[in-house]
Amino acid sequence: MLTSAFGMVRRAERGNQANSDGVSENTKHNIRGCMCRHVHEGSLPVRQVIHHYDGFWEFNCGVEDHPDLDDFVGLCADCNRERLAAFKMLVDLQPGQWAQRASENDNKWELFLLPPEDQGA
């Protein structure tokens, strides 16, 4: 489940070609990760936070598998600073770890390790 489109997303977003709404195309984005469209559009809360081995962050709903690159939106750290502040308790999440919670109101996050084979993704 955690490896479906993530490698594609990281490669596509590393070039700072963000898919951020409301920001001029001429603005250089500080792409540090991605979020699924459900989270981006506010239809579902963040239930999974993944810190990939290469330092890339991913915020997703944990409901859908998201097999397509179109399921994700580039996450500019500067454009989303206020939104990301809600996840400051996960700032110590190390590369290769991911966290999951049961619901939006659950402040208890379970921590997991990504499979070692994801290191090269």
Domain ranges of the chain: 6-20+28-120
Reduce the DSSP state of residue 117 to 3 states and report it.
helix
pTM value is 0.74
Residue 109, token pair as written in the block: 């996050």
Sheet strands (E) in 1-121: 31-36, 48-51, 57-60, 72-76, 97-100, 110-113
Q: Which residues contact 63 (CB under 8 A, 6 or more apart)?
A: 38, 44, 47
Q: pLDDT tens digits, residue range 73-120?
A: 988 877 777 888 888 888 889 999 999 999 888 889 999 999 988 786
With a cut of 70, say whether residue 11 has pLDDT above it.
no
The single-letter code of the amino acid at 11 is: R
